[in-house]
Structure 1
Amino acid sequence: MGRIPHRQQSDDRPELHAPAPASRWAMLAVLCASLLLVAMDATILNVALPSLIDHMEPSPMEQLWIVDLYGLVLGGLLITCGAIGDRFGRKRLFIAGFVLFGLASVVAATAHTPAQLIAGRALLGVGGAMVMPSTLSLIRNIFTDDRERTTAIGIWAAVAGAGAAIGPLVGGQLVEAFGWSAAFWLNVPVVVVTVIAGLWLLPEYRAPQHGRLDWFSAVLSVLGVVALAWGIKHVAKGNPAVLDWVILVASAVLLGLFAYRQSRSADPLLDVRLFRNRAFTAAALATLLAMLAIGAALFLISLWLQYIHGYSPSEAGVRTLPAAIATLLGALATPWLMERVGVRVLMGFGLGALTVGFVVLAAVPDTTYPLVAMILACLGLGDGLAITTAAAVLVSAVPAERAGQAGAVEETNYELGIGLGVALLGSIHGRLFTGHMTGLPLQGADLEDARGSVGGAAYVAHHIGGPTGDEVLRIAQHAYDSALTTTSWISAGLVGTVAVLTVVLVPRGFKATAAH
């Protein structure tokens, strides 16, 4: 392939005239409505899972795939979908992706087997991957004024952060009122309204490319992410087979080959040279590891509230509200705080708040809900501050013509972090839980089910009833708490490490402004 001319900023130009001032904020509302739905779907099943388990009886491994396959597929496809949108039109990709998102919601809502539900979640991830890159890139084109663009990106980041946090709240209300499938039926009317509004309001933009899309690299990236998730899941759950190790090694080879091809391409799907920028690398790591930790925490705490403390889905969802409120407030306050305390201090403080939340969750032996509420608020505040600051850094730390790729990195790390968090820390928690389930007054299939997951233990306990059932529940509660303590220490170590790296890598006095 011959050398491709360097893209200038003017390449990123609209097919239509710039939108009128009065319509820009309406366009932002359409984009944020879609983003909220896509972000919520990453966590909305957290409180619906117990109801789903009772109805469908998936295995422990199927439970993990149902929860986190969405984020893994979405994260694996974001970079490719961003490149497709650049070439074929961002509005076109946005509309097509949201239509697919709606159809996939119907597939998931009508599922009668774990396999169909997993397939529906995978299709939701594909649709979400088509939507998310288009939202940020369209915002960059719609808002040409620097101050307005900064505000719009701040709102975008707040919606993305709050969406994952309010997923359990919305899911809990819907599940209790209408059953687990309502978590998916919710998407359909929102998709219909948003698609109609998007066709009417949104302009089309594309960035002309001189080279063809590198489909081989796209396949490498997707296969690499899926293989990585598979390997992490099966190795973390204990007693991995040789095939599991082979797949994990293959993921490293595939992703390494993808990075090599991108480094030699004149028109890459992802310019890996962006990671030479220390601030960019710090922000990418902060997003990935922070969401890895908090994604697993929201999942495990939601199950803890229902199985250990006996809350209904709606009650459990309401009790995750401190995280949602704190995330939203932290994200909205970030632009103002960045101007006054600086990027380095603010990102470090946000990651530090996350670390403190995990340390308290791990260190306190008898955790009551009031303390959990404070922990959730601490996690939400840290998430809102750190993730929003990281998004601003990723966009501003690179040349303007690469700002779209920077946005794809932010979105990929955000969604991949949630998916890998449940895959890695969820698998570790499950393995520890099984190890602590000793002394059970059970045998045969009941013993296997109770040791498999906290949901299985609750089902067996309620089925048997009496003193034996109470004893099974007591042992399961102790095992779950012990496993949660260990995974919280691991989360604290991960986030604490990236907090230190952030302070080291981000230059003193670094300023984050919207790319233009």
Structure 2
Amino acid sequence: MQTAEVPVVPRAGMREWVGLAVLMLPVLLISVDNTILNFALPEISEALIPSGTQLLWILDVYPLVLAGLLVTMGSLGDRIGRRKLLLIGAAGFGIVSVLAAFAPTAEALIAARAALGLFGATLMPSTLSLLRNLFLNREQRRLAIAVWGSGFAGGGALGPIAGGFLLEHFWWGSVFLLAVPVLLPLFVLLPLLVRESKDPVGSRIDLWSAALVLLTMVPLVWAIKNVVDQGANIASGLALVVAIVSGVLFVRRQLHLEHPLLDVSLFRNAVFSGAIAINLLSIIAFVGGLFFITQHLQLVLGLSPMIAGLVLVPGLAAMIIAGLVVVPIVRRVPAHIVIAVGLGFSVLCYGSIAVQGGTVSAWGIALAMVALGIGVGGAETVSNDLILANAPASKAGAASGLSETAYELGSVLGVATLGSVLTASYRGHIEIPAGVSRADAAAAGETIGGAMHVAGELPEAIGNALREAAITAFGSGVSIASWLGAGLIVVAIVVSLVTLRRAS
């Protein structure tokens, strides 16, 4: 009796691992770009004199466009070639970065940021889908995904440090020029080391589907941001309705197309859906935590941007290490157990900050971020591997785009949920001392940053009283937001235990 031969999956060699290093360049760049601009806003405000609304658009237009195009660009890469799309996107990103660096007006910078979102949407899905084709061996692919995920953590650590260094020595446009030296090696090494891959069917992109993705994601992200900035209003409600209706129409259209932009049947796979949900929830908690932790380090503890960035380095290093260490562990321990245990460390992080509130020290934050990094790093590696493993190889780009959409949406929701809770609590608890004018009281009552700015211009006694009131109010918000972050991680743990039991 003959036994069926088990197909031997080829293992990656030196060429593939060097190719992975090349693919890390755009990953690192996008991650740095997500954090570095915040530190340049004061100088941009002085140089371009934007209005308050324009300043918000300088920040917001990039994630709006990026979130709206990730799925479409992932599918486009499946059709025209993932390597080709990555090279096109990298060239566009580099050129527009130069234009952004020398933007003469706020309007020009907003337009450049929108174009960066367009080209940025081509980079991340292409790198993750090419990674799948480089590493056919499952165990090697897990390690490669861990390294890929470390690019986000490494970029998150480098963003504040690089931003602080550049802004101390150069003008605000230097934060955009950083893209040029990072991307130049890509054009030489990528064609030599990474083979082209695409969907063999090669069907055309359905433009109506692409438009419906935009009409789903952009109004949704805008509505979330508008609720945080303006509170619930008619405009936010209408945008949310547009997003829901467009999303329903998109799903219905995909179910009837022979070659859909996104194979929504993927969501029938509980492991795929669960992994996407874990990605989303863990990133909401991680980015939301960074939102108030960075403010606490700079505004409450008085640290410079560069020193604040250094405080976060141990946690981001822990994220990288956890993503690598989890690879051999998940071979022997079921994925749902690995994710649940890892995320348990993240719950400890938020619990410790919630208990201490506004009194938490820099050392306390560093230790808490280590716990958060362990959980998120391990969960992201395993969940991204499950997303790719449970999608057909021909749809790797679309699946990667969906994974990245969850990441970008999680980033927006993190600020929107935890940030709005923090802001609402601060506004409800701030007690303005006597002697502060009505205009200054209004500014101090909005954010702790406004309060610290106002306090610096007041007489010493009144200024110190305002600082103490602001720190107390901010601390109460930090506690509430931290409990919410812990709750989100607990939900992710439950999702893991319920949906990933049959993951292999």
TM-score by length of 1: 0.87
CA distance in 2, matches of 1:247, 1:41: 27
Whether the 8 Å contact between 2:12 and 2:137 is mirrored in structure 1 is: no
1:311 aligns with 2:303: yes
Whether the 8 Å contact between 1:362 and 1:488 is mirrored in structure 2 is: yes
- Sequence identity, in percent? 38
Of 421, 424, 433, which residue of structure 1 is paired with 2:426? 433
CA distance in 1, matches of 2:40, 2:292: 13
Tell me whether 446-455 or 387-396 shows the greater mean CA deviation: 446-455
Give the match for residue 103 of structure 1.
Answer: 95
CA distance in 2, matches of 1:386, 1:251: 29
Tell me whether 126-135 or 181-190 shows the greater mean CA deviation: 181-190
Tell me whether 475-484 or 116-125 shows the greater mean CA deviation: 116-125
Of 224, 230, 235, which residue of structure 2 is paired with 1:232? 224
C-alpha displacement at 1:374, in angstroms? Answer: 0.8
Give the match for residue 326 of structure 2.
Answer: 334
CA distance in 1, matches of 2:318, 2:93: 28
CA distance in 2, matches of 1:113, 1:447: 31
CA distance in 2, matches of 1:293, 1:315: 23
Once the two structures are superposed, residues 27-69 of structure 1 have per-residue CA deviations (whole angstroms, 9 ceiling, x without a partner) of: 2221111111112222234555566567667677666554454
Whether the 8 Å contact between 2:225 and 2:416 is mirrored in structure 1 is: yes
C-alpha displacement at 1:417, in angstroms? Answer: 0.9
Whether the 8 Å contact between 1:217 and 1:261 is mirrored in structure 2 is: yes
Give the match for residue 14 of structure 1.
Answer: none
Tell me whether 453-462 or 321-330 shows the greater mean CA deviation: 453-462
Once the two structures are superposed, residues 73-93 of structure 1 have per-residue CA deviations (whole angstroms, 9 ceiling, x without a partner) of: 323211100111122222221
Once the two structures are superposed, residues 411-437 of structure 1 have per-residue CA deviations (whole angstroms, 9 ceiling, x without a partner) of: 221122112222333233333323333
**Correspondence list, 1:166-181, <5 A:** 166-178=158-170, 180-181=172-173
Once the two structures are superposed, residues 195-214 of structure 1 have per-residue CA deviations (whole angstroms, 9 ceiling, x without a partner) of: 33335544333324353211
Of 348, 351, 359, which residue of structure 2 is paired with 1:356? 348
Gaps of 5+ in 2: 1-9
C-alpha displacement at 1:146, in angstroms? Answer: 4.8
Give the match for residue 447 of structure 1.
Answer: 441
Give the match for residue 7 of structure 1.
Answer: none
1:490 aligns with 2:484: yes
Give the match for residue 473 of structure 2.
Answer: 479
CA distance 1:132–1:101, shift in 2 (3 Å): same
Once the two structures are superposed, residues 134-179 of structure 1 have per-residue CA deviations (whole angstroms, 9 ceiling, x without a partner) of: 1122222334455544433332233234433443333333334435
CA distance in 2, matches of 1:147, 1:490: 35
1:501 aligns with 2:486: no
Whether the 8 Å contact between 2:452 and 2:467 is mirrored in structure 1 is: yes
Whether the 8 Å contact between 1:66 and 1:117 is mirrored in structure 2 is: yes
CA distance 1:282–1:211, shift in 2 (3 Å): same
CA distance in 1, matches of 2:52, 2:288: 16
Of 133, 143, 154, which residue of structure 2 is paired with 1:141? 133
Of 175, 194, 198, which residue of structure 1 is paired with 2:190? 198
1:247 aligns with 2:236: no
C-alpha displacement at 1:283, in angstroms? Answer: 0.8
1:388 aligns with 2:381: yes
Of 368, 374, 382, which residue of structure 2 is paired with 1:375? 368
Give the match for residue 121 of structure 1.
Answer: 113
Give the match for residue 286 of structure 2.
Answer: 294
C-alpha displacement at 1:304, in angstroms? Answer: 1.6
Once the two structures are superposed, residues 264-285 of structure 1 have per-residue CA deviations (whole angstroms, 9 ceiling, x without a partner) of: 2221221111111111111111
CA distance 1:226–1:168, shift in 2 (3 Å): same
Which residue identity lines up with residue 489 of structure 1 in the other structure? W
Whether the 8 Å contact between 2:146 and 2:320 is mirrored in structure 1 is: no
CA distance 1:495–1:264, shift in 2 (3 Å): farther
Give the match for residue 398 of structure 1.
Answer: 391
Once the two structures are superposed, residues 116-140 of structure 1 have per-residue CA deviations (whole angstroms, 9 ceiling, x without a partner) of: 4444333222222111111122222
CA distance 1:80–1:239, shift in 2 (3 Å): closer
| Number of aligned residues | 493
1:26 aligns with 2:23: no
Give the match for residue 44 of structure 1.
Answer: 36
Gaps of 5+ in 1: 1-17, 512-516
Tell me whether 78-87 or 190-199 shows the greater mean CA deviation: 190-199
Which residue identity lines up with residue 139 of structure 1 in the other structure? L
Whether the 8 Å contact between 2:72 and 2:398 is mirrored in structure 1 is: no
Helix, strand or coil at the partner of 2:348:
helix
Tell me whether 211-220 or 464-473 shows the greater mean CA deviation: 464-473
Tell me whether 415-424 or 113-122 shows the greater mean CA deviation: 113-122
CA distance in 2, matches of 1:390, 1:62: 37
Give the match for residue 346 of structure 1.
Answer: 338
Give the match for residue 412 of structure 1.
Answer: 405
CA distance 1:147–1:331, shift in 2 (3 Å): closer
Whether the 8 Å contact between 1:165 and 1:323 is mirrored in structure 2 is: no
CA distance in 1, matches of 2:480, 2:49: 27
CA distance in 1, matches of 2:44, 2:301: 18
RMSD value over aligned CA atoms? Answer: 2.7
CA distance in 1, matches of 2:179, 2:189: 15
CA distance in 2, matches of 1:480, 1:60: 23
CA distance in 1, matches of 2:343, 2:56: 26
CA distance 1:302–1:65, shift in 2 (3 Å): farther
CA distance in 1, matches of 2:428, 2:171: 32
CA distance 1:358–1:107, shift in 2 (3 Å): farther
CA distance 1:115–1:448, shift in 2 (3 Å): farther
CA distance in 2, matches of 1:490, 1:45: 27
C-alpha displacement at 1:465, in angstroms? Answer: 4.8
Once the two structures are superposed, residues 347-398 of structure 1 have per-residue CA deviations (whole angstroms, 9 ceiling, x without a partner) of: 1122222222112211224211111111111111111011111101111233
CA distance 1:361–1:26, shift in 2 (3 Å): same
1:130 aligns with 2:122: yes
Of 437, 451, 460, which residue of structure 2 is paired with 1:457? 451
CA distance 1:433–1:383, shift in 2 (3 Å): same
Whether the 8 Å contact between 2:228 and 2:420 is mirrored in structure 1 is: yes
Helix, strand or coil at the partner of 1:37:
helix
1:215 aligns with 2:200: no
Once the two structures are superposed, residues 471-514 of structure 1 have per-residue CA deviations (whole angstroms, 9 ceiling, x without a partner) of: 22222222222222222222211221121121112125x32xxx
Helix, strand or coil at the partner of 1:311:
coil
